[in-house]
Amino acid sequence: MIVSNKWVLRVKLARVSAIVAAVAMAPAVLLSSPAFAADAASTGPAASTPDKAEPETKSPKRGSQEEEDRVAIAKMLADAGLGKGLRREANKALDGDAAAVRNFLEKGQYAARDEDNRVAILKMLGDKSNGPTFVEAANDALNGSAKDRVYFLETGQHDARLSDDRLRVTQIAHKGGPTMKEAARKALDGTAEDLRRFLETDQYIARLMDDRLRASQLYSSGGPAVKAAARAALDGTDDDLRKFLSTGYDEAKAKDDAATKAAKDKDAKDKGDKGASDKKDDKKADKATDKDAKGKPATDKGTKSTSSDQQKSGQAGGTTAAVKPTGGSTELATTGAGFDANWAIGGTAVAVAAGAGLVVAARRRKSAER
C-alpha cells in the first residue's frame, strides 16, 4: 500500500499539536485541583490590609488666576541663567497655596532678584584685574538702591570697564616701545572691542616686536659677551628674549666691563714698567755725564791763568786798555769785556792819542813862527 508523503506529514503535525496543547494545559489543571489549592492556602502569605489613601491634592481650576500664576513661575524656572535666590523662592512659592504664588509674583521675586544682583556684583569685585573706575562704580551700586544695582549690571559696568580699558592702554603705551605705541594709538582711536583686543592679544605681539628691536640694538652696541647673549636670545623663544632684556643683558655687560677694566689695568702696568725702565736708563746716563765732567775745572783754571798772564804782559808793554788776543779770544784787563768790546775801546784810545799829538805839534809850529 502506497502512502503519500503529504499524509504522513499531516499525521506528524497533528501529533505535535496535541503534545503542545497537553503541556500548555497541564499547569492549569494541576493548580485548579483541590489538593494543590489547599496547599497553596496553607503556605501562602497572609492577606495584607489596604494602604491608607493619600490626601487628594486640590488642583487649581482650569483658567483660574492661580493656574496662570503657577505657569508664570514655571516659565521662570525654565531659565538656565536664573539666580540661586530667585530659584529657591520660586520653588517655595510653587509648594504653597494660591496666596503664596501670588505673593511671590508681586513681591518675592523682586527681593530675590536683588539678592542675586548683589551676589553677582560681589563676585565681579573679587576679580583682581578690575580697574579703579569699575571698583568705584560697583561699590556705589552695592551701597545704592535695587535700581542702582540693576543699572550697574545692565549698563554701568560696561561704561566703567571702557574707562578703565582706555586708562590701561594709555599707561601701556607710555612705557612701551615704538611698535607698542603705534598699536595702542590705533586701539584708542577705535571701538571698545579694539581696546579689549589690544589688552588681550595685540599688546603682547607689539611687545615681542619691540623686544626683538631692543635686543638687536644692544647687540650692535655691545661687547663680545653682550653680542653672544643677544644672539642666543634672538635665536631662542619669547621667554629667552624677555630674560635677556630683564637680567641677561646686565650680566653680559658686567662681563664686558670687567674685561675692559682688566685690559686698561694691564696697559697701565705695562706703561709703569716702561717708565721705570726709562728712569733707570736716565740715571745711568746722568752717571756717565758726571764722569765726563770731572776734567772741566782744571781746564777753566788753565784758561784763567793764561788770561792773567796776558794782562800782566800788556801792562808791562805800556798798554793800558787792550790785551792781545790769546787762544782766539780777547778780554779787557779792567772790565772783562768780550772780543768786540776790547777792539772798540782800543781803537778809541789810539784815536784820542793821535789827536792829542797833532794838537801839540800844531802849537809848537805856531810858537816857532813867532
Average pLDDT of the segment spanning 100-125 = 96
Smallest Cα–Cα separation from 153: which of 167, 142, 164, 166? 142
Average pLDDT of the segment spanning 35-61 = 45
Instruction: Count CB atoms within 10 A of the CB of residue 207.
Output: 20
Using the predicted structure, report yes or no on whether residue 106 has a pLDDT greater than 90: yes
Distance CA 101, CA 106 (A): 9
Between 341 and 128, name the one with better pLDDT.
128
Using the predicted structure, report yes or no on whether residue 194 has a pLDDT greater than 80: yes
User: How much of the chain exceeds pLDDT 70, in percent?
Assistant: 58
pLDDT tens-digit map of 138-156: 999 999 999 999 999 999 9
Out of 195-199, 289-293, 363-367, pick the least confident: 363-367
Using the predicted structure, report yes or no on whether residue 190 has a pLDDT greater than 50: yes
Confidence (pTM): 0.50
Q: Quickly list H helices, 293-338.
A: 296-316
Taken as a whole, the chain contains a residue count of: 370
Using the predicted structure, report yes or no on whether residue 41 has a pLDDT greater than 50: no
Question: Mean pLDDT highest for which of 29-43, 163-177, 332-346?
Answer: 163-177
pLDDT bin (cut points 50, 70, 90) of residue 61 is low
Whether the Cβ atoms of residue 176 and residue 210 lie closer than 8 Å to each other: yes
pLDDT tens-digit map of 264-316: 888 888 787 777 677 776 777 777 666 666 655 544 444 444 445 545 444 44
Distance CA 270, CA 29 (A): 133
Using the predicted structure, report yes or no on whether residue 322 has a pLDDT greater than 90: no
Question: Mean pLDDT highest for which of 79-83, 144-148, 337-341?
Answer: 144-148
Average pLDDT value over all residues in the chain: 75
Using the predicted structure, report yes or no on whether residue 328 has a pLDDT greater than 50: no
pLDDT tens-digit map of 215-225: 999 999 999 99
pLDDT of residue 14: 45
Q: Quickly list H helices, 78-202.
A: 84-95, 98-103, 109-125, 132-142, 146-151, 157-175, 178-188, 192-197
pLDDT bin (cut points 50, 70, 90) of residue 47 is very low
List the beta bridge partners of residue 329.
326
Which amino acid would we find at residue 251?
E
Residue 68 half-sphere exposure toward CB, CA atoms < 13 A: 4
Average pLDDT of the segment spanning 226-249 = 94
pLDDT bin (cut points 50, 70, 90) of residue 354 is low
Out of 98-102, 260-264, 283-287, pick the least confident: 283-287
pLDDT of residue 292: 64
Using the predicted structure, report yes or no on whether residue 356 has a pLDDT greater than 80: no
pLDDT bin (cut points 50, 70, 90) of residue 10 is very low
pLDDT of residue 207: 96
